[in-house]
Chains A and B, each alone.
Chain A
Amino acid sequence: MRSRPKHPLAYLTLLAVAFFSAFPVYWSVIVASHDNAAMAEMPPPLLPGGNFLANVSRVFDTAPFALALVNSFVVAGTITVSVTFFSTLAGFAFAKLRFRGRGALLLLTVVTMMVPTQLGIIPLYMLMIKLEWTGKLYAVIVPALVNAFGVFFMTQYLGRALPTELLEAGRIDGCGTWRLFRHIVVPAARPAAAVLGMLTFMTAWNDYFWPLVVLTPDDPTVQVALSQLASGYVRDFTLGLTGTAVATLPLVLVFVLLGKQIIGGIMQGAVKG
């Protein structure tokens, strides 16, 4: 066992980087809890003030923020349930079922992660006009219902964590594939599905560009509302950063509480099989 004093430089470097990582988030809380006049002072305040709730009510008056929060919950919630379900299903097939073309299809799944799909945004938008989905939440939800990362992630996990003998025992008991999935795979997948769910929720909650393009300013998601709040001619940083705090802090809180599992999930997904 190495003892702590052996790496003073490592600690110093990590502490410095940790400080720079955390400070901007802390700073948003500072700005959000003061008024604009206080932020114009030199030196600026470095501790939270007492103006947070007043700022929050201003945020809800300025932008359709309440609606945006509801929309984002609907969008991110639906996407999370769907991605988790379909990824577990596909992961089960890739990890444990035998079928022709399995290896090639799995490789194709990984390769699709590297396709810059954002470049197809114009025809995608034209497609949404055709479907009459522009301005509607479907336009944001449907294209995100399942993704390659989730499929790959669950394939990795189930390949490692689900004993094949269990499935064989189920087969002997006469289970069809769907019953195997429901009664053996789903319980076994639960820890990884929880991590995938959290990662998916965060990504969907934070998604900005596509909702900006396809939704309307009066019926936005939270990130689009936030960008409305923070741009324009009025230079009201307090308003923008209060919106930022309202939109970000719930996620940050969940992350800090469940960070260990989430980080484990990211690192597991990173190791390629």
Chain B
Amino acid sequence: MPVAHRAPKPESPPRARPAAPSSPWRHRLDRTVSPYAYVAPFFLLFAAFGVFPLIYTAWVSLHDWNLLSSANPFVGLDNYGRLFSDGYFWNAAFNTLSIGVLSAVPQLALALVLAHLLNRPLRAQTLFRITLLLPNVTSVVAVVVIFSQLFGRDFGLVNALLDLVGIDRVYWQADVASSHVAIAIMIMWRWTGYNALIYLAAMQAVPREIYEAATIDGASAARQLWSVTIPMIRPTVIFTVIVTTIGSMQIIAEPLLFGAQVSNGAATTGGTDRQFQTLALYLYEKGFRSFEFGYASAAAWVMFLLVVVVVGFNYLLVRRMRGGLDV
């Protein structure tokens, strides 16, 4: 090791005991202060650019705050009142939940199955893993650009295939259901493999003997996944459910860019009839198109509460889903 080859500092006697260095005061200072100094950059940065804006959002939301106006009068809860009576807000809330459920549930279920399949001696194990994670390396913009082409009305491959089997072509951006499905597929495509690898990592820590015992007891592979694996990796399942839920509540780039394929105007509104405008996109429209900072902040703060509620709900749901170890 490099340090072993270095001569000790001149002022310190060689082989001094750690408790008795040459300059005890400086040494003590180094020992007490250094750890805090080393972890401080993260906490300072997070306080400045993470926590502070989030909290300040609550303050801004109580004002009629506009980018261009010089005065920002205090208006109490007016913004919230307007928000709750705005049909577009509720529409966005519905879209967010719909796209969230459509993308998250199949995504995590498929990820579990894939991890289960990968959790055995297979050939080309690494190749499979790399291919599964490939979508996660492509950027969200690339994903939407590619899938918008695939879901194109006139020249899209998906519609060409539908034609081939005799199903009517779909104008994917036009309807609530079809646009939600298309967006959910993009999200699933990007995240399923990633979650599968997270599950696989957790599954590899489950002792082999439990599976051997289950096999001797005659449990099928599907039964083993449900009754052994899932209970054993439950902390990881809870973790992914929470992270995926938080991600789902903040979906924005997919609807924004999917709408941009229709027209520039349809980008921030999430389709011509707001059929796929999510809450985050609604926030973006109010904040960065009409620059109503106060109003948009109220929307952000309500979204924050919604995230907490939905995450809490999902957490309780997953916690209750116990398969039990007795196969």
A and B found bound together = yes
Query: For this complex, into which size category does the number of interface residues on chain A fall?
Result: 35 or more
Shortest Cβ distance from A268 into B: residue = B201
Number of A-B contacts (CB under 8 A): 335
Quick check: B3 and A90 within 8 Å, CB to CB?
Answer: no
- Determine how close the nearest CB of chain B comes to the CB of A212; give it in whole angstroms: 8
- Nearest chain A CB to B35 CB, angstrom units: 4
Question: Is the CB–CB distance between B257 and A227 below 8 Å?
Answer: yes
With both chains docked as a complex, state the minimum distance between the C-beta of A185 and any C-beta of chain B, in angstroms. Answer: 10
- Chain B 5-50 interface residues, beta-carbon cutoff 8 Å to A: 6, 8-9, 12, 14-18, 21-22, 27, 30-32, 34-36, 38-39, 41-43, 45-46, 48-50
When distances are taken between beta carbons in the complex, the residues of chain B under 8 Å from A256 are: 130, 134
Q: Quick check: A123 and B39 within 8 Å, CB to CB?
A: no
* Cross-chain contact B146 with A241 (CB below 8 angstroms): yes
Let me know if B129 is at the binding interface, CB within 8 A: yes
Specify which chain A residues have a CB less than 8 angstroms from the CB of B297 in the assembled complex.
122-123
Measured CB to CB, the nearest residue on chain B to A228 is B260
Q: Give chain A nearest CB distance to B80 CB in angstroms.
A: 15
Whose C-beta in chain A lies nearest to the C-beta of B193?
Answer: A21
Complex CA–CA separation, A242 to B50 (angstroms): 35
| B-side contacts of A17, CB under 8 Å | 110, 114, 132, 192-193
* A13-B222 Cα distance, complex, nearest whole Å: 14
Write the B242-264 contact mask toward A (1 if CB under 8 angstroms, else 0): 11001001101100010011011
B165 close to A (CB within 8 Å): no
Which of A48-56, A58-66, A141-149 interfaces with chain B?
Answer: A141-149
* Residue of chain A at shortest CB distance from B27: A176
Residue A57, interface by CB 8 Å = no
From residue 170 to 186 of chain A, which have CB atoms closer than 8 A to chain B? 170-181, 183-184
Known contacts being A119-B57, A206-B139, is A44 close to B130, with CB within 8 Å? no
For A253-264 the 0/1 string (1 means CB < 8 A from B) is: 001100110110
Contact, CB under 8 Å: A178 / B134: no
Cβ < 8 Å to B, chain A residues 110-160: 112-127, 142-143, 145-148, 151
B134 touches A252 (CB 8 A): yes
- Among A30-73, those with CB < 8 Å from B are 31, 39-40, 42-44
A266 cross-chain contacts in B, Cβ below 8 A: 133, 194, 197-198, 201
The answer to whether A202 has its CB under 8 Å from any CB of chain B is: yes
* A174 cross-chain contacts in B, Cβ below 8 A: 8-9, 12, 14, 16, 21-22
Q: List 16 A-B contacts (CB under 8 A).
A: A14-B114, A18-B131, A105-B39, A120-B54, A124-B53, A145-B41, A166-B1, A169-B4, A170-B3, A176-B30, A177-B34, A183-B1, A206-B139, A252-B137, A259-B129, A266-B133
Would you list the 3 A-B pairs with minimal beta carbon distance, nearest first?
A120-B53, A231-B260, A174-B12
Known pairs A24-B189, A116-B246; list 15 more (Cβ under 8 Å).
A21-B134, A99-B32, A114-B243, A119-B250, A120-B300, A126-B60, A172-B17, A174-B14, A174-B16, A230-B257, A233-B263, A233-B264, A251-B138, A270-B197, A272-B236
- Which residues from chain A sit less than 8 Å from chain B, CB to CB? 1-2, 4, 7, 10-11, 13-14, 17-18, 20-22, 24-25, 27-28, 31, 39-40, 42-44, 86-87, 89-90, 92-94, 97-99, 102, 105, 108-109, 112-127, 142-143, 145-148, 151, 166, 168-181, 183-184, 187, 202, 205-206, 208-209, 213, 223, 226-227, 230-233, 235, 237, 240-241, 243-244, 247-248, 251-252, 255-256, 259-260, 262-263, 266-268, 270-272
